[in-house]
Amino acid sequence: MAALEIVRIPVLSDNYVWLVHDPDSGATMVVDPAVADPVLAAAAGRGWTITDIWNTHWHPDHTGGNAAIKDATGCTITGPAAEYARIPTLDVQVQGGDAVCLGDHVASVWDVPAHTAGHIAYHFADDAAIFVGDTMFAMGCGRLFEGTAEQMFTNMQKLGTLDDATRVYCAHEYTLSNARFAVTVDPGNAALAARLTAVEAARAAGQATVPTSIGEERATNPFLRAPSAAELGRIRALKDAA
């Protein structure tokens, strides 16, 4: 089975849309399209036809391109059953424990509520990849808009069970601000200090810093490293106020 081809598409001010292609079947999926035109152009430039959209949650900067992409391609839109009322373009509703496929590549659906009440993630175990929307970022986690620190702590604990090599595809370029905050709450972490230096250089050169990996996050992400929900909540509150 050929490896998935995964393309990062920067849109808006700091969003990333992920274009995922299965060379064997020709199936092509978009994760969380904020807008349509750059995504359609990226696919067309590679000779790919978009067959699917997978949404992680309802926020407009993750679903705003759904309708136009569907109008242009006739693709099928899959997303969280718990948020179907807020994503009117959904064709297929899924929840934790379900499986979705791109060709022969199978992703398990994870329930990861906290940023939104029905947020989900898509884990391709055989491809060592997970699409997490706004649940985890490089050295960060999503704001607790519709959930609790306890829920986010559970999410982090589950993500922490994945192999270090698992690639984490998040939806925003928040890495520099996250790293600068992380060193204030974990100042003795040499790996974190080194990563901050590397991220500063990358961003100064205009380079993207995601995807990240579970191994990198295990070493440097204060939310993944938090020993309790109370501690995660404490540092999330500090980040919100920063």
Q: Active-site residue numbers?
A: 57, 59, 61-62, 115, 134, 172
Per DSSP (E only), the strands in 81-199 are 92-94, 99-102, 105-111, 120-124, 129-133, 136-137, 140-141, 167-170
CB 18 within 8 A of CB 31: yes
End-to-end CA distance of the chain: 46
* Residue labelled with tokens 């579970």: 214
For residue 72, what is the enclosing H or E element? helix 66-73
Q: What is the dihedral of CA 116, 217, 20, 64, to 10 degrees?
A: 30
